[in-house]
Structure 1
Amino acid sequence: MKKVLIILLMVFIIIQFFPIDKTNPTTNQGMDFLKIKNTPEPIANTIRNSCYDCHSNETKYPFYSNIQPVAWLLKNHIDEGRKELNFSTFATYEPKRQAHKMEEAAEYVEQSKMPLESYLLGHSNAKLTDRQRKELAEYFRKIEKETETNPL
């Protein structure tokens, strides 16, 4: 049993030498969702607090992003989040895709699928109240309708 613990400890120490890349891609404010949609500040703050760490190029990496294998899981979540919806590059999406992403975002917020429970464990300030969920879903639906009506 002692040998197993020593081996596990050694593996844990060795994997610390394989950190994640925490470099955020450069951002262009002219492509950012909050800017191009003139998002009201209260809604913008909610989106920044609850969505931007995983769904933008403005990730703020927490202390545990230095500890493997947790950091690998974290990086995977961020990469998947950006792939699914990246608010920093929202202007590059075709109008149909923008509308679809807003529809999905509204549904995920309403159904409490976002933010993820695992994210909320370390980011209690990202937890949405029922009122914030309602406001955010309504805002995303409003942007969806505006995009469908006036795609440019």
Structure 2
Amino acid sequence: MKRILIRIGIGSLVLFAGLQFIPLQFPSGKNAKEIQSEESVKKIFRKACYDCHSDLVKWPWYSRIFPVSLYLIRHVQEGKDELNFSDWEGMKRSEQADLAEKILEEIEDGEMPPKEYVLLHSEAKLDKEELETLKDWLQSYTEK
């Protein structure tokens, strides 16, 4: 029995090591631009939003470890499909207003940034002042 467990353990390690060599496509984007706004707003987006919602993703070291890489690639792609701040300046004002309303709702409900992201990136946690800064910026798009 001990011999079987050792073989299973070695086989698992070899499989895990082999999976690290699978080439993966990390979504990079075509438009690595920031929003045009005050520096205070850009600073908040850089620390709490851009890694999932822009073409300016900073991939952490652990993003190269399989199967974490699969999860992060899917998560970032879904985030960018939902909202990509790198495309913000090219949107119509009505599209920006619609997205601003959604963003405002999600940050007010505490859904963004996600808790699992903040757990690994404590700097992404928004304080009250940062929340007010973002709310003011977003409301400037929702006002007619």
Q: State the TM bucket, normalised to the shorter chain.
A: 0.7 to 0.9
RMSD between aligned residues: 1.8
Deviation at 1:23, TM superposition (A): 5.9
Deviations 1:2-36 (A, max 9, x none): 3332332222112101143336223264xx4x21x
Structure-2 residue corresponding to 1:63: 61
Checking the alignment, whether the CA contact within 8 Å between 1:16 and 1:68 is kept in structure 2 is yes
How far, CA to CA, are the matches of 2:14 and 2:114 in structure 1?
A: 32
Structure-2 residue corresponding to 1:18: 22
2:118 corresponds to which letter in structure 1? Answer: L
The correspondence of residues 3-152 of structure 1 with structure 2, limited to 5 A, is 3-22=7-26, 24-27=28-31, 29=33, 32=34, 34-35=35-36, 39-145=37-143, 149=144
| 4+ long deviations beyond 6 Å | none
| TM-score, with length taken from structure 1 | 0.82
Checking the alignment, whether the CA contact within 8 Å between 1:56 and 1:86 is kept in structure 2 is yes
* Structure 1, unpaired ranges of 5+: none
Deviation at 1:48, TM superposition (A): 1.4
How far, CA to CA, are the matches of 1:136 and 1:19 in structure 2?
A: 38
SS at match of 2:25: coil
Share of identical aligned residues, percent? 32
Checking the alignment, whether the CA contact within 8 Å between 2:27 and 2:76 is kept in structure 1 is no
> Which structure has the larger Rg over C-alpha atoms?
2
How far, CA to CA, are the matches of 1:20 and 1:74 in structure 2?
A: 11
* Structure 2, unpaired ranges of 5+: none
Checking the alignment, whether the CA contact within 8 Å between 2:32 and 2:56 is kept in structure 1 is no
Deviations 1:87-108 (A, max 9, x none): 0011333333221110011111
Count of paired positions: 140
